[in-house]
Amino acid sequence: MARLTVNGRAHDVDVDSDTPLLWVLRDTLGLMGTKYGCGIAQCGACTVHVDGTPMRSCSLPVSAVAHKQITTIEGLGSNGALHSVQKAWLDLDVPQCGYCQSGMMMAVAALLKDKPSPSDAEIDAAITNICRCGTYQRIRAAIHAAAGRRVSGMSSQ
């Protein structure tokens, strides 16, 4: 039994302690937005935030995240509104098949929290997720757009 807080809600889950967080999210809690791609932390389709840090949940045993704050794509926006990264993804029609994009957006949201206006080099270093449809050009543009939105959003307050 492990206690997790996912998207602000506490859950007690009865799973084997070596179960990766990915499968707890998907098969125990029914949060299907976080995806299985490789199982070895290569592709990043399973990226979630653990206490605000982007982590590859396919390789993270549930025992390691007990009592931690976990955010998934379903909890990225707030109060029913899209997160600035999701808005940028929508505006620039980033997804094609879309399968990798939850993990991609979670990685980007964490990057922007850390570095509100990342350079291309910082983006290259931080965003190592795989997109087989090759949406990288639009991903880069959307990251810059989201960074701009964040800046203008802050200035208007």
Residues that bind other proteins (CB under 8 A): 15-16, 19-20, 23, 26-28, 30-40, 42-43, 45, 72-74, 77, 82, 86, 89-90, 93-102, 105, 123-125, 127-140
Nearest to 48 by CA among 27, 34, 31: 34
**Minimal distance, residue 5 CB to other proteins, in Å:** 18
Task: Report the residue number, 4 or 31, with the smaller CB distance to other proteins.
Answer: 31
Question: C-beta of 45: minimal distance to other proteins in Å?
Answer: 6
CB of 85 to other proteins, least distance (A): 9
**Helix residue spans in 48-100 (DSSP H):** 84-91
Phi, psi of 127 (to 5 degrees): -105, 95
- Residue 90, beta-bridge partner list: none
65/131 with CB nearer other proteins:
131
Closer CB to other proteins, 5 or 28, in the complex = 28
Whole-number Cα distances in Å, 133 to 40, 41, 58? 20, 19, 21
Q: Residue 156 CB, nearest distance to other proteins (Å)?
A: 23
The owner of tokens 């976990």 is 70
Q: Which is nearer to other proteins, 39 or 148 (CB)?
A: 39
The residue among 33 and 157 lying less far from other proteins, judged by its C-beta, is 33
Minimum CB distance to other proteins, residue 18 (Å): 8
